[in-house]
Structure 1
Amino acid sequence: MDSQKVDMYLMSNSKFFQPSQLAYIRERLLAADESKWMYIQSADLKDPTTILIVSILAGGLGIDRFLVGDTGLGVAKLLTCGGLGIWTIIDWFLIMDITRQKNMEKLQAYL
Structure 2
Amino acid sequence: MDSQKVDLFLATSQKFFEPAQLPFIREQLSLIDDSRFLAVSSMEYRDPMMMLLVSIIGGSLGIDRFILGDTGLGVAKLLTAGGCGIFTIIDWFQIQGLTRRKNMELFMRALNF
TM-score, scaled relative to structure 2: 0.95
1:107 partner letter: F
The aligned residue for residue 109 of structure 2 is: 109
The aligned residue for residue 61 of structure 1 is: 61
C-alpha distance in 2, partners of 1:37/1:94?
30
Write out the 4+ residue segments of structure 1 that deviate beyond 4 Å after TM superposition: none
The aligned residue for residue 87 of structure 1 is: 87
The aligned residue for residue 96 of structure 2 is: 96
- Kindly state the Cα deviation for residue 103 of structure 1 after the two structures are TM-superposed: 0.3
TM-score, scaled relative to structure 1: 0.97
**Helix, strand or coil: the match of 1:43?**
coil
1:79 partner letter: L
Provide structure 2 residue ranges, at least 5 long, that are not aligned to the other structure: none
2:26 is aligned with 1:26 = yes
C-alpha distance in 2, partners of 1:51/1:57?
10
Residues 80-89 or 33-42, more deviating = 33-42
2:14 partner letter: S
The aligned residue for residue 74 of structure 1 is: 74
Provide structure 1 residue ranges, at least 5 long, that are not aligned to the other structure: none
The aligned residue for residue 3 of structure 2 is: 3
- Kindly state the Cα deviation for residue 15 of structure 1 after the two structures are TM-superposed: 0.3
CA displacement 1:41-93 (0-9 Å, x = unmatched): 11010000000001001100000011111111111111111111001000000
- Kindly state the Cα deviation for residue 33 of structure 1 after the two structures are TM-superposed: 2.2
The aligned residue for residue 38 of structure 1 is: 38
